[in-house]
Amino acid sequence: DAGVTQSPTHLIKTRGQQVTLRCSPKSGHDTVSWYQQALGQGPQFIFQYYEEEERQRGNFPDRFSGHQFPNYSSELNVNALLLGDSALYLCASSLMSSGGQRIIPVGANVLTFGAGSRLTVL
């Protein structure tokens, strides 16, 4: 059973460039969340996608955008890169609904994390 897979694992960009990170959720999951983990810090929530829509968003600027595809995979896009965007970007998947019914309480759902994409901005 494949877990959460992310690509690329490492990448280097320069300031002002744009980057796209990709995530395939764990088989059977329908929700994808993205987190940014700066060096020495805990992960910070960027946003969450469910049914191809952004459902929740953390305190991140509009330079951060995303997309979820019909197969539940997701992309994270960051425009106009800044040095401060250097971090490990983690994708996490979970199951929001089953059999057409929303799983309650969703807050208790366990997130399965990928190994991350490490972005370095020079």
The residues binding other proteins (CB under 8 A) are 4, 31, 33, 35, 40-45, 48, 50, 55-56, 58, 90, 92, 94, 105-116
- Least distance (Å) between residue 107 CB and other proteins: 5
Distance CA 68, CA 16 (A): 24
Q: Which is nearer to other proteins, 70 or 110 (CB)?
A: 110
- Least distance (Å) between residue 113 CB and other proteins: 4
Q: Which is nearer to other proteins, 14 or 41 (CB)?
A: 41
Query: What does the DSSP assignment read for 34-81?
Result: EEEE-TTS--EEEEEEETTEEEEE-S--TTEEEEE-TTS-EEEEE-S-
Distance CA 102, CA 79 (A): 33
- Least distance (Å) between residue 80 CB and other proteins: 25
